[in-house]
Chain A
Amino acid sequence: MTIERESMEFDVVIVGAGPAGLSTACRLAQLAQENDTELMICVVEKGSEVGAHILSGAVMEPRAMNELFPNWKELGAPLNTPVTEDQIFLLKDEHKGRQIPNALVPKTMHNEGNYIVSLGNVCRWLAEQAEQLGVEIFPGFAASEVLYHEDGSVKGIATGDMGISEAGEQKDSYMPGMELHAKYTIFSEGCRGHLGKELMQRFDLQSDADAQHYGIGIKELWDIPAEKSEPGLVLHGAGWPMSNDTTGGFFLYHTENNQAVVGLIIDLNYSNPHLSPFDEFQRLKHHPVLKQHLEGGKRVSYGARAITKGGFNALPKMTFPGGLVLGCNAGTLNFAKIKGTHTAMKSGMVAAESIFQALSSAEQQSGNQELTTFADNFKNSWLYDELYRSRNFGPAMHKFGAIMGGAFNFVDQNIFNGKLPLTLRDNSEDHAQLKLASEAPVIDYPKPDGVLSFDKLSSVFLSNTNHEEDQLCHLKLTDAQIPLGQNLTRFAEPAQRYCPAGVYEVVEDEEGAQRFQINSQNCLHCKTCDIKDPAQNITWVVPEGAGGPNYPNM
């Protein structure tokens, strides 16, 4: 199929307005300004506005922000709530939980000097700074395709066509996509970017790295009674309701304006196909440790997003001719801290500095080459040091745990995942871990009470997700027979449970014939299906721009 598309030329095109992409843009524009040169920089973002698709915790370490905008306070960055207290819990069962004494909490889990933020709002603010520095930001435009030069180097991206019907025909509102060409193209799509995935394969970027690992994070935002609000209070914990072979941890933060956020991250290497992350999270909120903070409150928003957590050992090569993969798209999250914002930002800043250097030197002005200086600049940055050190964090914790007993073992195993690639070289893929449905216990989840816990549909409603209905389905099955033919018989089709939005359903018609139904308009863009499908049969591609959740301050 040859499509005539218009094209535009830029120096740098950035895919994704998250912390990584926006920091790249800001740093590049700052350097251009300082050196009196002009750079054409553009950012495309698939959300209807910057921040609409951002979902994070988030306790943010301000290190990268301090470097990027030393005067961020004066500029009004929304880092409004300093952390005042850390509490860590081990939940034993549905009634009991133990707080780990502060002295026993490892340093990386202390959050003094950090801020509780809405990462969506931080991104909105970063986007304003970028625009003031002259960066073009285009929300509502999804990068759907990587474009290559004849020599195989990356030429840029194409935005998706708009106005194509479900049947593949052009509607009245049809508007063909645009080609955006650049000397360097940055892929900062966040965890499991769909273009990033293509680039990893094409340029074999993961050949020296261990298998990547992921988690799914489900989160809610609550209005809580004013008398309960303790802005700055941070709770983390693990244990119940997950069984021993399922790792993960919860968070509950008190933020500004009488709001609190609560969430659960479950590692996607879980083995029981009957497990439903959504239902684990719903019942978790009934535990007294969490319930006391939420009771009397009202849920405001809901969403989910996968995280990349393989760390140093799983970090791919980040450069290829004509571009880079950055942030969580590559996997720069520091799992010892469960923080990926400051590291994603820093990866963007290091990339920006390397690109600016290259564009200023004669021989690389044309771009399309591999930014070889990036690897060295990255190695010399605190980012590398931090990720490298957290690689050793796991084993250190392990040893400590053996001395201190249960409490530390919990911290090691459940929060820091001591056994994940930080300690062992774990090369098993998350999607290959499921046991057969017949060999795993069925989990009987309690019914939601409509006060603390809710069903999936009323939850998805609060994500404000929406997709133009008459468009091509953005969840592609390589083989349409696999869901019923293999996944259902072997794993009771786990997509029905791991998808936090109820997108996948096995439905029966009147004659009792089964059908695999994809309610793609409910999709939250979390990417879990792309990661966890045991047959790797589902490929998430971008829907029409502006589709997807409309998260407020998530």
Chain B
Amino acid sequence: MKVLVAVKRVIDYNVKVRVKSDCSDVDLANTKMALNPFCEIAVEEAIRLKEKGVATEVVVVSIGDKACQEQIRTALALGADRGIQVETDQAVDSLSVAKLLKAVVAEEQPQLVILGKQSIDSDNNQTGQMLAALTAMPQATFASELTVADGKATVTREVDGGLQTLELTLPAVVTTDLRLNEPRYASLPNIMKAKRKPLDVKTPDALGVALKNNVKTLKVEPPAERQGGIVVASVDELVEKLKNEAKVIG
């Protein structure tokens, strides 16, 4: 069984995000980038399926400019077998990503596609769902447990107030939640080996997808800065300030 995992290059979760002074976007100059944590969990799950003998091949795909090859290599170092980069330096919205992935699915014919439930930069939480709709595959989002046997995937999902277990007929789309697994560290020999694993570069053109941006970012703003606190001398002063300055009591 072949598993396809889609991964995204995002700002490292340790880095404090900074908004550009013209509020057009987040400033990514010289910042540390990393594999999206939910995608890392997706890669780990695919590798575990391979280690259990359920999957035979794990293919990772990422969409972006050349820099995202770094994240593909990270996934290869964790244990994926080969990589595909869909090269574009345009910003792509979720629907375009889903369409490109659909084209890759058509070529690769995986039995299972695993994605992160969302990327920590744009927090859209929709690519997996869109891909499932476009490919007419069954889907299970927010997976916290996954088993695959007899042409079926059994997925436990964390839902409000409890757990839900679904059974999907393969091929299917699964998106990962935080508790699905704890990804391993890549070892040095595996990082070296990853450099020699195959990595194909494809263009949206070659995949027959015309990129069209339906979503435009108008403005990105940092959260309002917290006002410094003040120390009041007495309860009377506090009441007075709450009344007349903060206007929270009448």
Residues of A at the B interface (CB closer than 8 Å) are: 6, 8, 48-49, 52, 118, 120-121, 136, 138, 141, 159, 162-163, 172-173, 175, 178, 180, 223, 257, 300, 450, 461-462, 464-466, 550, 552-553
Contacts and interface: CB of A to CB of B under 8 A. Distances in A.
Contact of B14 (A121, A162, A172, A464): A464
Contact of A48 (B16, B32, B183, B189): B32
A175 B32 contact: no
- Scoring A223, A466, A552 by chain B CB atoms within 10 A of each residue's CB, the highest score goes to A552
Contact of B185 (A8, A49, A175): A175
B21 A223 contact: yes
A462 B187 contact: no
Given A118-B30, A223-B21, A553-B30, A138 B14 contact: no
Interface majority SS on B: helix, strand, loop or mixed? loop
Nearest to A176: B187
A178 B14 contact: no
B228 A450 contact: yes
Given A118-B30, A172-B182, A450-B228, A550 B192 contact: no
Interface size class of B (residues with CB under 8 A): 20 to 34
The 8 A-B pairs at the shortest CB distance, nearest first, are namely A552-B30, A466-B14, A553-B30, A175-B185, A550-B32, A162-B185, A464-B15, A178-B188
B21 A8 contact: no
A434 B193 CA distance: 52
Nearest to B228: A450
B184 A173 contact: yes
A466 B189 CA distance: 26
A521 to B, nearest CB: 11
Contacts, number: 54
Interface in B187-206: 187-189, 191-192
Interface in B28-81: 29-32, 34
A136 B185 contact: no
26 contacts: A8-B189, A48-B12, A48-B32, A49-B32, A52-B32, A136-B192, A141-B188, A162-B185, A173-B182, A173-B183, A173-B184, A175-B184, A175-B187, A178-B188, A178-B189, A300-B18, A461-B16, A464-B15, A464-B32, A466-B14, A550-B12, A550-B14, A550-B15, A552-B29, A552-B32, A553-B30
A173 B29 CA distance: 32
B195 to A, nearest CB: 8
A175 B16 CA distance: 28
B185 to A, nearest CB: 5
Given A48-B34, A175-B185, A464-B16, 20 more contacts: A6-B187, A8-B188, A48-B14, A49-B32, A52-B32, A120-B30, A138-B191, A141-B188, A162-B185, A172-B182, A173-B184, A178-B188, A178-B189, A462-B16, A464-B15, A465-B14, A550-B14, A552-B29, A552-B31, A552-B32
A466 B187 CA distance: 21
Given A172-B182, A175-B185, A223-B21, A121 B15 contact: no
Interface in B160-196: 182-185, 187-189, 191-192
Contacts of A550: 12, 14-15, 32
Contacts of A118: 30
Contacts of A173: 182-185
Contacts of A6: 187, 189
Interface in B8-26: 12, 14-16, 18, 21
Interface string B109-136: 0000000000000000000000000000
A333 B12 CA distance: 33
Contacts of B30: 118, 120-121, 552-553
Contacts of A138: 188, 191
Nearest to B15: A464
B16 A159 contact: no
A178 B185 CA distance: 13
Nearest to A172: B182
A138 B32 CA distance: 15
A180 B16 CA distance: 34
A470 to B, nearest CB: 12
Nearest to A44: B188
Nearest to B195: A136
Contacts of B188: 8, 138, 141, 159, 178, 180
Contacts of B34: 48
A297 to B, nearest CB: 10
A163 B185 contact: yes
A86 B29 CA distance: 28
Contacts of B182: 172-173
A120 B31 CA distance: 11
Nearest to A466: B14
A221 B155 CA distance: 48
Which one of B16, B30, B185 has the highest number of Cβ atoms from chain A below 10 Å of its Cβ?
B30
A465 B228 CA distance: 25
A118 B29 CA distance: 13
A296 to B, nearest CB: 12
Contacts of A141: 188
A533 B123 CA distance: 46
A163 B189 CA distance: 18
Contacts of A120: 30
Nearest to A226: B21
A9 to B, nearest CB: 12
Nearest to B33: A49
B122 to A, nearest CB: 20
Nearest to B70: A49
A178 B187 contact: yes
Nearest to A120: B30
Nearest to A465: B14
